[in-house]
Structure 1
Amino acid sequence: MLFYLYVQKLFEKDKPLYSWFYTTLVIKVLSGLAVGALYLYYYKVGDITDTYNCVSRFAVLFYSDNHKFMQMYFHNEFMENNELLFQEMLTYSPRQLFFIKLIVPLGILIDNYWMINVYCSVFAFMGLWNLSNRIVSIFSISKTAVVISFLLFPSIVFWSSGMVKEAILLGCIGFSMSFYLKWVYEKRRPEMIELIIFIVALWLIWNLKYYVFAILFFLMITHFVHRMVVYSFPWLKEYRIHKIVVYYLVLANLGLSAGWINPNLSIDNLYQALHINYVDTITLSNNHNIFHLEHFEKSEWGMILDLPKAIIYG
């Protein structure tokens, strides 16, 4: 109910991008349906269809055996009573299983493949819509540029639509960044509902993709500390190089301490974690439609040498 009341405020007509609202919303919803159709009719297998199958099983179990549902949903007891349909979930990563459980309430309420895709798409849209309006309100920037960047850019619109982790992820990023910008630049005291959504959004980001949480969290902390330092020492405003040094010193120190978020982010384990993921991706691809990072395969320094190539190829 609290979230619903906040959404009512979100779409008031005084929003600077209000004229774009219906156009971008319809495009987002259609993208969600298109992604759903792509996985259902073309790929036939994949993340979205696998997620929905699991969600649907949970929904059926909720109505047929509530006790067993609770055991599986909250305690991951998928082997209970030889439930073969659920045993495959034992092989899922914690992030994948978390996302499935996140969608289960929607499955219980509607259990419709297309509608769940639409709901996930709309959530992503709401977060990015909120962030886009905040950016235009705070900074002197072209409305068209913001709309294209966050609401119309094809890769963002399409691949953050539907029943995918990226839809929830971008929605959460949009909400959390919008509130942060509001509190820092508009100097407005946080409302209770905003704090709740902000904390929940960061928690969801951390559980879905911890490395995205690390980047977002450290950037916010670095930006906040940088603003406080410049505010405390006004003379720094006259020397751009000093501000840059302060910014990157804070960011570097935070980056070196990233291991407390997840061991894979520590300096000692970062290369190994990336290399394992790289090898697994190559293996699953069966050497079809892939490119190799020759230096990265050999040493840690190769990660730096191959970085431009990795960025270009995406």
Structure 2
Amino acid sequence: MNGLYVLANILFISLISYRGRKQQTVPFLKVIFWPALVFKLICGLLVGYLYQHYLLGGDTFVYQQQAEILSRYASQDPSNYLSFLLTGEYQSVYLYDVMKYREYSNSFFMVLVLHFLNFETGYNYYLNAVYFSLFSFYGCWQLTVTITKVFPATKVAAALAFLFFPSVVFWSSGVLKESILVGSSTLLLAVVLQFVYQPGNQKVVLRSIALLVAAFFCFKIRFYFAVAYFPLLAGFALVELAARRWHLPRQKKLYFYLVALLVLGIGASFLHEAINLDYFFRELINSYQTSKLATTRKAFIDLPHLQPTFASLIQYAPKAIGSAIFRPFLGEINSVEYWLAGFENLLVLLLAVISLLSFWKHKSNLPITLVVSLLIYILLLAGLIGFSTANLGSVSRYKVAFMPFLLYLLLQTGANQKILTRLENWVNDLLSNKAK
């Protein structure tokens, strides 16, 4: 029976993948579709293999075990199972006792998603990993497609950032929260760009559904990130639409953008009862201290006198943000995985330096409101991760939440974009010569 589940799912995945490739009309997208998809799915399987054989299972297999309990409970006690799904209340003492993550909303959300997938995959962890990877790929692919059509000069930067950068692809694949986060956040940006730059009534319903699903998943998996992301995207969209309708000059557009961010940011603070500064600061410090105590490596993010106050957070902000983006440094920790992370971080640092030194010489291909929105989002997330996580290994995984957006901005800025353009022209010439 398990073999039938595997064959049926492989057939289904192959069909939807073939359809996705067939829908592409842009030659660039046709060329990169299969390499990007295969790379993503392989990474999803490798994540599971890594956790199963080298990291003692980790949370990813605990999610699967919990999901199996809930899936089997559906057939054992259908009425209480449906009542639980509809109300969220535990009618069964057994279910209450065995549900490990009932007090952790985003972890329990992972269990809920997995338990639904179990009905289709026959409780196969690696098939579930493939579907998680597909969701992440779908969001990144839709964003790359949208950028290719809306900002075509930056399509190579988008492809490299969202589809091919190794750590981004790896840590946003498989049964991880980051798979849902990256998939939903990229899909959300893609739909917002479509509404702003590709207006039309033909796909309004589908786009609206995609927007709601992406926002829901983003909120459920990392609501603090969502609270930062939503007003930034909304501010960008509202100002760009208003600027187009009323022909606002650049200075006024930026003024309205800042006002919109202030209003939307205040509104976002009411999205959840946990958005309370005192509570938030305490939780941030507690998370950092817990992470620091659990860190066995000598190298970690050291914030020795961090306190739950504005003054303390501002004092340590440069170190927290810089560490989240650029560490571990090359050779900082002597192990294979950290050397690989160090090489990537060195590349990111070089891209950042080149961008800073050359951005004023080359006009950006992106609207300033989008650049500012993504920069604020990147800095906020880097700060949150740097302040809450001392362990550099965890940081390497968690930062995929913002890293593809940062890479995209860096690769399309200044001399980096010129280098990519020359590379693209060289590849096009090479392909043309081979075609002849």
* AA of the residue aligned to 2:285: H
**Structure 1 pair 280–288 and aligned structure 2 pair: CA distance change class (3 A):** same
1:170 aligns with 2:177: no
Match of 1:12 in 2: 23
Q: Which range moved further: 156-165 or 62-71?
A: 62-71
Match of 1:262 among 256, 268, 272: 272
CA root-mean-square deviation: 2.9
**Alignment deviations for residues 267-295 of structure 1 (CA, whole Å, 9 cap, x no partner):** 55442342233233334447875322235
Match of 1:214 in 2: 227
Percent of aligned pairs sharing the same letter: 24
Q: Which range moved further: 170-179 or 96-105?
A: 170-179
Match of 1:155 among 149, 158, 167: 167
Match of 1:44 among 56, 80, 95: 56
By how many angstroms is 1:172 displaced?
1.7
By how many angstroms is 1:80 displaced?
2.5
Distance 2:247 2:271 in 1: 33
Distance 1:172 1:60 in 2: 28
* AA of the residue aligned to 1:119: Y
Distance 1:185 1:293 in 2: 43
* AA of the residue aligned to 2:207: E
Match of 2:107 in 1: 96
* AA of the residue aligned to 1:214: V
1:185 aligns with 2:190: no
* AA of the residue aligned to 1:254: L
1:194 aligns with 2:194: no
By how many angstroms is 1:134 displaced?
0.3
**Alignment deviations for residues 24-76 of structure 1 (CA, whole Å, 9 cap, x no partner):** 10000010001001111111131211101111222222334433433554555
* AA of the residue aligned to 2:219: W
Q: Is the 8 A contact 1:295 1:306 kept in 2?
A: no
**Structure 1 pair 101–120 and aligned structure 2 pair: CA distance change class (3 A):** same
Look up the SS of the partner of 2:25 in the other structure. coil
**Structure 1 pair 84–226 and aligned structure 2 pair: CA distance change class (3 A):** closer
Look up the SS of the partner of 1:163 in the other structure. coil
Match of 1:144 in 2: 156
By how many angstroms is 1:125 displaced?
0.3
Look up the SS of the partner of 2:300 in the other structure. coil
TM-score (norm 1): 0.86
Look up the SS of the partner of 1:17 in the other structure. helix
**Alignment deviations for residues 180-215 of structure 1 (CA, whole Å, 9 cap, x no partner):** 111111222343222122212211211111122222
By how many angstroms is 1:313 displaced?
1.7
Distance 2:309 2:173 in 1: 37
TM-score (norm 2): 0.63
Distance 2:83 2:300 in 1: 41
**Structure 1 pair 58–168 and aligned structure 2 pair: CA distance change class (3 A):** same
Distance 1:266 1:299 in 2: 13
Distance 1:267 1:298 in 2: 9
**Structure 1 pair 233–75 and aligned structure 2 pair: CA distance change class (3 A):** closer
Distance 1:262 1:34 in 2: 36
Match of 2:249 in 1: 236
**Structure 1 pair 254–105 and aligned structure 2 pair: CA distance change class (3 A):** same
Match of 1:125 in 2: 137
1:113 aligns with 2:125: yes
* AA of the residue aligned to 1:193: L
